[in-house]
Amino acid sequence: DQQVKQNSPSLSVQEGRISILNCDYTNSMFDYFLWYKKYPAEGPTFLISISSIKDKNEDGRFTVFLNKSAKHLSLHIVPSQPGDSAVYFCAASDVNRDDKIIFGKGTRLHILP
Amino acid sequence: EAQVTQNPRYLITVTGKKLTVTCSQNMNHEYMSWYRQDPGLGLRQIYYSMNVEVTDKGDVPEGYKVSRKEKRNFPLILESPSPNQTSLYFCASSLTGPSYEQYFGPGTRLTVT
């Protein structure tokens, strides 16, 4: 049973426009959410995170929105740049219960020139 | 330079031949973790460790062992590798747990024939 779902395997966005990557989760006990970015032949790198007590967190061009009632989070990238082409993983943890982390399957973002 | 190193980066082996993939971090992080990445399945946590001598199972621990005798090292042991363990493996570390930014190693591509 997939607890963290990224339903779009890939997404293409024009350079300069907004990229929106979506993530749904099923476990209402998750209290911390993170986004990681991965380039080919490299390990993932941390991008941005959000605690369940917040509904938005911004870091430069990256903003994560959390809708707890819908069990949904999204990553917005504005404006999209060629270097943003990568695979993006959503992840969630329930740190009050244990120290596991569950990742989604990832979304491949292509930024078109 | 803060980093997580893994060795070897590539390994081809045969079924049943015990192997160890080493992982080391130089950031004095308490939390370390192993993941495997498979096409269409994303990143799945194998084992994690909250501190020296403290390890616990992730989502896919079958067929793997780990140990944490020193804070900086967290080797992954495959006692009797099988073809279904052919995968891309990542080691990661973070300050205190999965809700903090994890730093990933470059990956180890393992093929079991």
pLDDT tens-digit map of B34-79: 999 999 899 999 999 999 999 999 999 999 999 999 999 999 999 9
Q: Which residues of chain A carry a pLDDT beneath 70?
A: 1
Cβ contact B105:B36 at 8 Å: no
pLDDT score recorded for residue B17: 97
Cβ contact A107:A40 at 8 Å: no
Task: Give the type of residue at B77.
Answer: I
Distance from CA of B83 to the nearest CA of A (A): 22
Cβ separation A91–B56 shorter than 8 A: no
Task: Give the type of residue at B30.
Answer: E
Higher pLDDT, B1 or B23: B23
Distance from CA of B14 to the nearest CA of A (A): 24
Cβ separation B98–A43 shorter than 8 A: no
Q: What is the pLDDT of residues B7-41, one digit of tens each?
A: 999 999 999 999 999 999 999 999 999 999 999 89
Closest to A100 (Cβ–Cβ): which among B58, B101, B105? B58
Q: Concatenated DSSP letters for B52-111? A: TTEEEE-S--TT-EE--SSSSB--EEESS--GGG-EEEEEEEESSSTTSPPEE---EEEE
B39 touching chain A per CB within 8 A: no
pLDDT score recorded for residue B6: 97
Chain B residue whose CA is closest to A107:
B42
B34 touching chain A per CB within 8 A: no
Residue whose pair of structure tokens reads 């959410």 in the numeric block: A33
Task: Give the type of residue at B4.
Answer: V
- How many A×B Cβ pairs under 8 Å? 73
* pLDDT for B89 beyond 90: yes
Q: What span, in angstroms and rounded, lies between the C-alpha atoms of A34 and A71?
A: 14
From its phi and psi, is residue B92 left (phi > 0), alpha (psi between -120 and 50) or beta? beta
